[in-house]
A and B are shown apart, each in its own frame.
Chain A
Amino acid sequence: MYSYSDFDRDFVRTRVAQFADQVQRRIDGALTEDEFRPLRLMNGLYLQLHAYMLRIAIPYGTINPRQMRQLALIADTWDKGYGHFTTRQNIQFNWPKLPDVPAILAALAEVEMHAIQTSGNTIRNVTADHFAGAAADEIEDPRPVAELLRQWSTDHPEFQFLPRKFKFAVTGSPHDRAVTHAHDVGLRMVRNAAGEPGYEVSVGGGLGRTPMIGAVVRAFLPKADLLPYVEAVLSVYNTLGRRDNKYKARIKITLHETGKIELTRLIEARFAELRPLFGGADQALLAEIEAAFAPPPFRDAPTDGFDAFYKADPVFRSWADTNLAAHRNPQYAIVTISLKAHGATPGDATSAQMRLIADLAESYGHSEIRISHEQNVILPHVHRADLPALHAALATLGLATANIGLISDIIACPGMDYCALATARSIPVAQEIALRFQELKLEHEIGPLKIKISGCINACGHHHVGHIGILGLDRAGVENYQITLGGDGTETTVIGERAGPGFAYDEIVPAIERLIAAYLGLRSSADETFLATYRRLGLAPFKAALYPAEGARDAA
C-alpha cells in the first residue's frame, strides 16, 4: 500500500502540533467554542450526545496490520477498548476526552493515519470498492486513483470551504460495490470501444434528506484527464452551490436546479480551461502511486486442504459459502470477516479483535486489510489452503459469523445511542432483528438481503439503498421507524420506495418479520431473492403484510 512521503509525514505532524496548540488554547480559555469548533471539526473531532467522538479516515478502506494494532492501542489507552467502523470507511472512537485528543492524533501520525477532513465542508475520505486489487471482475485497482484524489484534495486551498461536504467513491469493477451513484462524484471504471480503461463519471448522487442518483456527466473519461475533470466539477460546484441554504447546498441540488445538460456544459467548459494547466506531473505521481499498490507475491500451492475441509466441516462450509468472494487468482479467496455477530453492534470491533485481525492478516493475508462501507473487515488475499486455519482462529474471538449478505449483515449508523443529530436509535433495532432471525433459524433460508438502518434523515446508514431500509424518526416525542422497500446500492441503483406509515420501536421487528414471511410465501423459488421478488410483484403484497389491519378495514 501507499507509504507517506516526507511531505505527507511533515504535513500530518505539523497539523497535529497545530491542533495540540488549539486544544490547549481552548482549555486555557483563549479560544471560545465558536472559534474552536471549526478547528476541531477540521481535525475530525465532534461533540456527540454523551462524549466527544473522533472520526479517523481509513483512506479507501485500506489499512495495514501495524495501523490496526495502533487503533487497538488507542482504543485501550484513551477510549473504552473498541472502535466503530463506519459506512464511509472511517473508524470512530466514541469516548475520547478533549485533553487526550492531541496524543491520539500523534499516535495516529506515527502509523501514517489522521483525522483531517473527516468533517467540515471539504472533500471527505475517498471511499473505494473494498475488494479493490483482489476482485475477479476488476478492470483495474481503483486505489491508486483514490490515493491521487486524496493527495490532491487534502488541504486543497480552493476546496476547504465548499458549500457543503463532498464525497467521492471509486470502483474499478463493473459490479459496483462502492455505491458510487449515491456519491457527490462517483467514478466507475469502464472500457471504451478501443478497450482502454477510463472512468464513467457521475455527479450529484447522494442520500440524506433528498435522495438522488448521480447523473452520468461523462460516459468515458480517459484516466489521464481525471484530476482536471474532477477539479472542473468542484470548481463549478464551488461557484454555483447554494451557500444560502444548508439543505440545498449539496451538489445534488446544484444538479437539480441547473439541469444535467447545463451543468455538464459548465463542467466541460471549465475542464477545457483547466486541462492545459495539468502538464503531466499528476500522471507521474499516479505512476509512482500505482507502483505502491503492486499486488503481493501470490503463492502457488495446492488447495486440496480447503476442498477436504469444506466437505468435512459443515460450520466451515457455511462460512465459506457466505463469507468468501471470488479472487482473481483462483487459488485465493477474498475473506469478509463479519463484524455483525448476532446481537453485536454492527461495525464495532474490540481491541482484541483488532489485534487478532492484524495477526491473521500477517499470517494468512499478505498483510492486507480492508474496511468495507458495509461495516465489515476484509482480508483481500487469502490462499484457499489457509482458510480452515483462518476460520478457526477467527472463531476464537467471535469473528467467524457466517452471515455476509444475509439478513443479519445489517448496516446501522450509531443513531441516538451516540449521535447528536439522530432522531431515533438504530443499533438496538439492528441487534434485535439479527437475534430474532437467528432464533427463527431462517437466515440462510431467506438468502441475500440487505437491511440498512439510519437514525435520522441524513442517511448515514444508507437506508434508501437497502432492499429493506429503516429510517428512525422522532414523531411527537416517540421513536418511529419508516420502512422503504426495493432500494439497491449496486450498479443498478434504485432509491427505495416508502411502504407507508412508520412503526413504533416495539413494532418494528415484528413488522420486518411479517415482511419476510410474506416474501417467503411470494417468491417463485428459493433462488428468487427478496429484491427480485419485490421487483416482480411491486409494493402491494408487501404493504398488505406490513399493514394487515388496514387490509381488513378495506375489506370490511
Chain B
Amino acid sequence: MTLPFIPKVVTANALLAGDVVYLTADDRWSRQLGDAELIEDEAHAQMRLLHGAAQRNVVVGVYLADARRGPHGPEPVHFRETFRTRGPSNYPHGKQAEPRHV
C-alpha cells in the first residue's frame, strides 16, 4: 500500500537577502507561505522543484516542504517550517516583524 502523498510547497532562501521564499503558481518567489503553490501531485512536485532549483542566481537551497491547505493558502506541517514562516522566537525579527499581506 502506498502512503498518500503529503502536499508540498517549493521553498528556498533568497540569494541576496538570505530570507525564506516560496515558489508561487505563477512562477514568482514570494516571501509569504500563503502565496505558495500547494502541490498535491508527486510528479508535479518534482517538476516544480526542478523549475525552482534551476533559478540558481535567485535562490539557494531549494527543496520541497510538507504543507497543508489552510484558509489563507498553504500552512506549514512541521515546526521547523512554522519557524521559517515567521522568524526567531527571541526577537520580533524576520517575517513576523513585517506587515502581512494576506
Contacts and interface: CB of A to CB of B under 8 A. Distances in A.
Interface of A: 26-27, 29, 32-33, 47-52, 80, 94-99, 345, 416-418, 425, 427-428, 431, 474, 477-479
A80 B18 contact: no
Interface string B40-75: 000000000000000011001100000000000000
B18 A97 contact: yes
Nearest to A46: B18
B56 A33 contact: yes
A191 B6 CA distance: 64
22 contacts: A26-B15, A29-B57, A33-B56, A33-B61, A48-B18, A49-B83, A50-B20, A50-B88, A50-B93, A51-B94, A94-B88, A97-B18, A98-B15, A98-B16, A416-B83, A417-B83, A417-B88, A417-B89, A425-B89, A428-B90, A474-B79, A477-B79
Contacts, number: 74
A33 B60 contact: yes
Given A416-B80, A428-B89, A477-B79, A50 B19 contact: yes
Contact of B16 (A32, A94, A97, A417): A97
Nearest to B15: A98
Given A50-B20, A98-B15, A417-B89, A478 B84 contact: no
Interface of B: 13, 15-20, 56-57, 60-61, 77-80, 83-84, 87-91, 93-95
A477 B61 CA distance: 21
Contact of A50 (B56, B60, B77, B94): B94
Nearest to A52: B18
B93 A345 contact: no
Given A47-B61, A417-B88, A431-B90, A477 B15 contact: no
A473 to B, nearest CB: 12
Closest 10 interchain pairs by CB? A417-B88, A52-B18, A51-B18, A29-B57, A345-B90, A427-B90, A50-B94, A428-B89, A33-B60, A98-B16
A427 B16 contact: no
Contacts of B13: 47, 51
A48 B77 CA distance: 20
Given A96-B18, A97-B17, 19 more contacts: A27-B16, A32-B56, A33-B56, A47-B18, A48-B18, A50-B19, A51-B19, A94-B88, A94-B93, A97-B16, A97-B18, A98-B18, A345-B90, A416-B80, A417-B89, A425-B89, A428-B89, A477-B78, A477-B79
Contacts of A32: 56
Task: Output the residue of A96, A97, A431 with the most chain B CB within 10 A.
Answer: A97
Contacts of B93: 50, 80, 94-95
